[in-house]
Amino acid sequence: MGWLWAALVVVVGYWLVPELIGHHGQAGAWAGSGAENRLALTFDDGPGPDTPAVLDVLRQHGVSATFFVVAEEAARYPTVVERMVSEGHEVALHGWHHRSALTMAPWTAWREVAHGRALVAAVAGRPPRFYRPPWGHHNLVTWLVPGLLGLRRVLWSIAPDDWRSDRPPDAIARHVVRYALPGAVVVLHDGGGDRTRTVSALPPMILGLRRLGLDLVPLGALGEERAWVRKIWAWREGAFTRRYRVETVAAPDGGPPVLRVGRAAYRGPVLPGAAAEDPPIRGGAPMAEIHFQNYTLGQASGDAAGGLRAWVRVGRSMPELGRWVAQDAALADVALVGGVTVLDVGRAVERLGFHRRELGGLAMLPMRLYLIFLMVVFHRQGLRVLRRLARLKPVLIYMTRQEFLARYGPDAS
């Protein structure tokens, strides 16, 4: 039975653990920073017959991207790779062949990375800096060896599955724009099959991302997130955004967005309706829940006036949020617009038209700790913000749908 245990140790140590930690957990992988309002478009599996069309669209819109090329395909289309380099794109490694690491012996995995790197360097005229294994699959070699060869492992935070034949271009573009956040890495595909849908999705995708104030840059120009807490939080926030379909609201000045909104069930005390004759709003009622873009508000903080500056930016985004609430079918029946915050500065909440209600008691302790954690992680003062601990109390801010649209909807004055 000893050999069974040995085989189990090999399987777990060589395949299972690296796949779970390196792929699904993205441990040790390069991650973009949300401190700058930038996003990286990346393309896998090429070059292929549709890559020139992808390059045409990127050139027309003045966008530079990162191409994770398959080395054998790069050797087959050297002029396309040369064009990538000449037009300012970054050429990275996707492996020697397009093979899953879950099917490779250690020596095969080594060749996939080492020979692939050498071949891409020869075709592109410079060694690649980044590596993404096909499908994101990992074994112990593809997890550890890239670093020894000067490569940074990169996965992704937004995947619209543009490779699927049932994904129309508008769905691909909409997916990317919906879940876009500063520091995000988008994975698209320019090879490995018919990529005409990706080509068609790129123009509306680029316009939508720019409307959110995002600069589209190669990975090398996207600042790296080095704080492990923020890396974990970015992964969690991306998962939360996808699960609850939270959407980013564009800032009116084209700058970094400060607000996001999603549909949720109201959880809180009974609230009065918009008019005296309206029924009260109870727990479980549909709500347009406001979420703050933590990095953006964190950059606006840092001194005594930071909280007020943050609310000024929130106020400027309210008309855009009003248009969203009025026009989004998913929010058509919400009874409330609001959320919970510890950013309660002076009478800023009331000046924006929100009602406020302090939330206390032991039931709110987890929410309070959660919001304080966000302040510590994203506030410029970091742990020093805990000096204001006694004043950091969760506050429910809200308006009924009627009140909100009367003040900020498309027909409001």
Strands (E), 163-285: 185-189, 215-217, 247-249, 259-265
Distance CA 351, CA 315 (A): 9
Annotated catalytic residue within 138, 189, 291, 379: 189
Cis peptide before 47 (omega within 30 of 0): yes
Annotated catalytic residue within 23, 44, 291, 344: 44
Counting Cα atoms < 13 Å in the Cβ hemisphere of 360 gives 3
In eight-state DSSP terms, residue 36 is: S
- Neighbouring CB atoms inside 10 A of 255's CB total 15
- 44 is annotated as an active-site residue: yes
**DSSP codes, 167-185:** --HHHHHHHHHHT--TT-E
| Integer CA distances (angstroms), 352 to 56, 317, 378, 410, in order | 45, 11, 24, 16
Distance CA 19, CA 142 (A): 10
Q: Sign of dihedral through CA atoms 59, 64, 65, 67?
A: positive
What residues act catalytically?
44, 189
